[in-house]
Amino acid sequence: MPIPGWAGEPQPRVDGSHEQPWHCTPFSEAARYGVELLYPFEEELRVTRWRGKVRLDADWGEPADLDLMWPPFRSFGEDYYSYQVSLDLMVPEGFAVLTQPHPRYFTDPTNTTPLAVPALIRTEWWPMMFFCIFKAPPKGVTHVFRKDEPFMSLIVVPAEPGLELEPQTEEEAAERELRARRLAASRDALAEGTRWVSTTDTVFDGTYRHMHRAAKARDRGR
C-alpha cells in the first residue's frame, strides 16, 4: 500500500488530519490480501465511451512477441472490454482464483482506475492463460492503464465454499450481545490516547486497531 499513493497521504492520526484510506484497519487488511496484477506495457491505454461504444486509445506499435494477441485489449460487447493476460496460474486442488477490482478503485477520486469484473478461475482443469473483463467507464470518464500501476487483484479461495446460512442460537446471540456491551462499556479505556477528530469533524479512535493487534499477538503465542 503506497503512502503517499492510492492508499492515501502520510497524515498521522491526530486532530486536524484528513482521514486516509490506510487509517482504516479492515480496509488495509483487505487491500493487502491476495496478489495484485501490474500493467506491464510501456504504452499508456486510455479507455472511454464514444457514441455508446467502447473506445480504446493506445499507440501499440509492433508486438514484442509474435505469439501474443496484439493489441491485448478488445471491446467486449457494448458495456465491457477485455484484456488477454499473458499469465498462467496454478493453485492447489480444491481451490480457485478469484479476480476482483483492485483496492485503489475505491480510493480513486478521479475515477480513472479500471473496474475489473469479478470472476472465478478454476485452474485445476483450466491450464491456459486467461482473459479478464472490465466494465466500460460511463460517459465523460476515462479509465487509464499506466506502466507498473495495479489494475486487478487475485485471491485464492476454496473452489466450492460449502457455506450454509443459519440463525444464531439464543445462547450464541446472548453471548455476543454480552461481549458487545462489555466492549462498549470499556471503549474509553481501550481507546485511551487514540481518539482524534479529522478535518471533516469525524471522530476516530484506535479501539479496533488495538484489539486487532492483541488478537494477532494471542494467535502467535498459541
pLDDT, one tens digit per residue, over 163-202 is 899 999 999 999 999 999 999 999 999 888 999 999 999 9
Using pLDDT thresholds of 50, 70 and 90, give the confidence band for residue 52: confident
CB 126 within 8 A of CB 162: no
| Nine-digit cell string for 145 | 492503464
Q: Which helix (H) or strand (E) holds 218?
A: helix 207-220
Residue 129 has pLDDT above 80, yes or no: no
**Final residue of a structural domain among 130, 158, 186:** 158
The reported pLDDT for the residue numbered 61 is 85
Residue 82 has pLDDT above 80, yes or no: yes
Residue 130 has pLDDT above 90, yes or no: no
Report the distance separating Cα 127 and Cα 35, nearest Å: 19
Using pLDDT thresholds of 50, 70 and 90, give the confidence band for residue 65: confident
The verdict on 64 and 130 lying in the same domain is: yes
Q: What is the mean pLDDT of the chain?
A: 92
Residue 67 has pLDDT above 80, yes or no: no
The reported pLDDT for the residue numbered 143 is 97
CB 73 within 8 A of CB 41: no
The verdict on 58 and 4 lying in the same domain is: no
The DSSP annotation for 142-211 comes to: -EEE-TT-EEEEEEEEESS------PPPHHHHHHHHHHHHHHHHTHHHHTTTT-EE-TT--EE-SHHHHH
Instruction: Specify the residue for cell string 476454496.
Output: 158
The verdict on 40 and 109 lying in the same domain is: yes
Residue 42 has pLDDT above 80, yes or no: yes
Residue 89 has pLDDT above 80, yes or no: yes
The verdict on 13 and 46 lying in the same domain is: no
Residue 113 has pLDDT above 90, yes or no: yes
Q: Which helix (H) or strand (E) holds 80?
A: strand 80-84
Answer whether residue 166 is part of any domain.
no
Report the distance separating Cα 41 and Cα 158, nearest Å: 32
Rounded average pLDDT over 102-111: 95
Answer whether residue 219 is part of any domain.
no
The reported pLDDT for the residue numbered 119 is 93
Answer whether residue 153 is part of any domain.
yes
Using pLDDT thresholds of 50, 70 and 90, give the confidence band for residue 66: confident
Which domain does 65 fall in, by range? 36-158
Share of the chain above pLDDT 90, in %: 77
96: domain CATH number is: 2.70.40
3-state secondary structure at position 105: helix
The verdict on 91 and 130 lying in the same domain is: yes
Answer whether residue 185 is part of any domain.
no
- Pairing verdict, β 80-84 and 131-135: antiparallel
The reported pLDDT for the residue numbered 1 is 86
Residue 158 has pLDDT above 90, yes or no: yes
Rounded average pLDDT over 70-88: 90
Answer whether residue 48 is part of any domain.
yes
CB 152 within 8 A of CB 37: yes
- Pairing verdict, β 80-84 and 73-76: antiparallel
The verdict on 12 and 62 lying in the same domain is: no
Report the distance separating Cα 51 and Cα 198, nearest Å: 42
The verdict on 3 and 85 lying in the same domain is: no
Residue 68 has pLDDT above 80, yes or no: no
Instruction: Specify the residue for cell string 446460512.
Output: 165
Side chain identity at residue 182, one-letter code: R
Tell me how many domains the chain contains: 2
Give alpha helix (H) positions in 102-144: none
Residue 128 has pLDDT above 80, yes or no: no
The overall pTM is greater than 0.75: yes
